Amino acid sequence: MSDTTTDNTTTAGDDQDLGAAGSQLSTAPKEEPPHLPSLGVIGWARWFWRQLTSMRVALLLLLLLSLAAIPGSLIPQNGIDETKVADFREKHDVLAPLYDKLGLFDVYSSVWFSAIYILLFISLIGCIVPRTWQFVGQLRGRPPGAPRRLDRLPAHTTWRTAAGPEEVREAALALLRKRRFRAHLAGDAVAAEKGYLREVGNLLFHVALIVMLIAFAWGQLFKSEGNKLIVEGDGFSNALPMYDDFKSGNLFSVDDLEPFSFDVKEFTGTYERTGPNKGTPRTYQSEVTYTEGARGEEKTTVIKVNKPLEIGDAKVYLVSHGYAPVVTVRDGKGKIVFQDAVPLLPLDANVTSSGVVKVLDGYRNPEGEKEQLGFNAFFVPTFGGSASGTMLSQFPALDYPVLALSAYHGDLKADSGIPQSVYQMDKTKMKEFKDAKGELFKKLLTPGETMTLPNGAGSVTFEKDVKEWAGYQIVQEPGGGWALGGAVAAIGGLAASLFVQRRRVWVRAVRGADGVTVVEMAGLGRSESAKVPEELGDLAGLLYDEAPGVPEADSADPSPPTSPSTDSEAVSAEGAEQQ
């Protein structure tokens, strides 16, 4: 065997030849020398479009979008938690007006966030469309022919063989195709290329980003989200008046609501009794029966935390839980004027709860006049006992339930036309019931006990049945499946673009001056990598078995081709420039 000698003398023709060999190893647009347009408005528009659709600008916009989303995570948002926004406004008189002007309470619908979002969308499309078209052209074409000087490529080897040039080329063509190279005969050489999956992955990654952006925008425009508190035994129908609170996207229509309904049969909550996680929920689920559509078949299922009920595009999440003591109120004649389960809002992890009981209609005082009754309610599922000196629950389960009530009578102003919270009481026109000491009348009740109001005004009974309620969030956000598919595709495309290398191999077989065939093999990759020389060495070894070498004129024994040399001093820089 003999290696061809390397002539380091370069010419302009050689440089151009090597540049053609390394061209089109990627679909990145060719860099043009920077220059300012000289065509007025049209020229500036073209310059701006080229900058916007460049990959560096797309990456910059993606970074800006990530940074712009940070305030939405740190600052309370109007569409997510109105209460926290209101608290922030009360505590920060200076920052709140500034945040309003900057749109920081509505980050994801602000003008500046939307501008970044739309520019990124346009930039990605401007990048992908020409690169996709260029890649399709490369797939339809053939790998470029072999350069004149294969020994100047980063990985190359050579040997002499007794086999004819045509025989070597046919063997090389079959070998490369067997190794899944796209190969063809080009003059006195075989040209082959492999690793197109890299560009496919690159394009797939960017297309997936566009799909994710479209899915996100579609979901935000047509989404709906509402909350509903439901006591055991009650139900819900997916209609706008049934929600406790509701918000939606700009293009959402009431007709877009998925038609379904469900009834809450039972809520089950069990908790850790001992150890450092005492009080932590072990079981947190609700059993429901539901129907799809107006006349759908009734089905039973269990909704758990992070395991929602899915009906079409809608998902029903279990998000909260509390207790609803059953309270019966009678007037002075023993007539029942109120009897219902009263949901109370939890205040801590042990479900210490508070709320109000409102009797709006049907009650008359001992003088026969119509009045309204109101009771501040404070409930603990596990009372620590009077010796504890506190009305705070010791455990979230119903181990020792106690209900504390304080009584008022008068006008609750329910007919004033001003919306009222069902968990708060307007006392401006209410009077306190007084005890024997002239203080506010109040009492602690256990299940089954009754509090008798002063002066024959009636009574309040804490029934033995303590129901539980569950809070549900009904979310309808179309495009979620597309967003998930885009995310998976983006990960797959990114993996392919990072771990697959696009490379080319040439095999030239020509008859030398002494009549012996000279075989040259060379490889070129998109970037410097040990994989190209290793793969070339493997291919050369297989081809050498079919076209074994013959000794040089001054050598007694033929030898197999050595590991390909990697003289990249002259070629790699040019290859990088062309790529």
pLDDT tens for each residue of 125-183:
887 877 777 777 777 778 888 888 898 888 899 999 999 999 999 999 999 999 999 89
CA–CA dist 20, 526 (Å, integer) = 13
Residue of 374, 466, 460 whose CA lies nearest to 420: 374
DSSP H helices, 404-556, are 480-499, 531-546
Give the pLDDT confidence of 22-61 residue by residue, as tens digits: 555 655 555 555 555 456 788 788 888 888 878 788 888 8
Higher pLDDT, 30 or 373: 373
Contact 281, 271 (CB under 8 A): yes
pLDDT higher than 80, residue 236? yes
Instruction: Enter the DSSP assignment of 13.
Output: H
C-alpha distances out from residue 155 to 143, 404, 462, 569, Å? 18, 86, 89, 11
- Map tokens 């210490």 to a residue: 352
* Mean pLDDT, the chain, integer: 84
- Map tokens 């181990």 to a residue: 399
Residue 467's φ and ψ, nearest 5 degrees, are -90, 165
Three-state DSSP class for 287?
A: strand
Instruction: Enter the DSSP assignment of 241.
Output: G
Q: How many helices (H) and strands (E) does the chain have?
A: 11, 22
Which domains, and CATH codes, for the chain?
Answer: 42-135 (no CATH), 147-194+501-546 (3.30.310.80), 224-476 (no CATH)
DSSP 381-428: SB---GGG-----SSSSSSB-EEEEEEEEE---TTSSS---TT----T
In 381-458, beta strands by DSSP E: 402-410, 430-432, 442-445, 450-452
CA–CA dist 544, 519 (Å, integer) = 9
Give the pLDDT confidence of 480-532 residue by residue, as tens digits: 888 889 999 999 988 888 888 888 999 999 998 888 999 999 998 876 667 88
CA–CA dist 401, 384 (Å, integer) = 10
Three-state DSSP class for 485?
A: helix
| Single-letter amino acid code for the residue at 404 | A
Residue of 264, 345, 249 whose CA lies nearest to 301: 264
Least confident of 69-83, 324-338, 526-540, 560-574: 560-574
Contact 243, 254 (CB under 8 A): no
Share of the chain above pLDDT 90, in %: 41
CA–CA dist 344, 326 (Å, integer) = 11
Which pTM does this prediction carry? 0.65
How far does Cα 164 stand from its chain's mean position?
61
Average pLDDT of 219-235?
Answer: 90
pLDDT higher than 90, residue 415? no
What integer pLDDT is reported at residue 574 of this predicted model? Answer: 36
What integer pLDDT is reported at residue 309 of this predicted model? Answer: 94
Three-state DSSP class for 337?
A: strand
Three-state DSSP class for 466?
A: strand
What integer pLDDT is reported at residue 26 of this predicted model? Answer: 57
pLDDT higher than 50, residue 10? no
- Map tokens 């009974």 to a residue: 461
Average pLDDT of 409-423?
Answer: 80
Residue of 346, 445, 436 whose CA lies nearest to 405: 445
pLDDT higher than 70, residue 324? yes
In 272-304, beta strands by DSSP E: 281-292, 299-304
Tokens representing residue 391 in the block: 């009305």
CA–CA dist 257, 240 (Å, integer) = 9
Tokens representing residue 376 in the block: 């501040």
Residue 556's φ and ψ, nearest 5 degrees, are -85, -35
User: Residue 132: in which H helix or E strand, if any?
Assistant: helix 111-140
Burial of 171 (0-12, 13-18, 19+ CB in 10 A): buried
Contacts for 138-143: CB closer than 8 Å, 24+ residues apart: 138/24, 138/27, 138/196, 138/199, 139/196, 142/182, 142/184, 142/186, 142/191, 143/182, 143/183, 143/184, 143/186, 143/191, 143/192, 143/193, 143/504
Share of the chain above pLDDT 70, in %: 86
When computed from its CA atoms, the radius of gyration of the chain, rounded to whole angstroms, is: 39
Give the pLDDT confidence of 294-320 residue by residue, as tens digits: 788 999 999 998 899 999 889 999 999
pLDDT higher than 50, residue 533? yes
Q: How many CB atoms lie within 10 A of CB 98?
A: 10
What integer pLDDT is reported at residue 94 of this predicted model? Answer: 86
Give the pLDDT confidence of 57-93 residue by residue, as tens digits: 888 888 998 898 898 888 888 866 677 888 888 888 8
Question: Would you place residue 16 in the very low, low, confident or very high pLDDT band (cuts 50, 70, 90)?
Answer: low
Instruction: Enter the DSSP assignment of 357.
Output: E
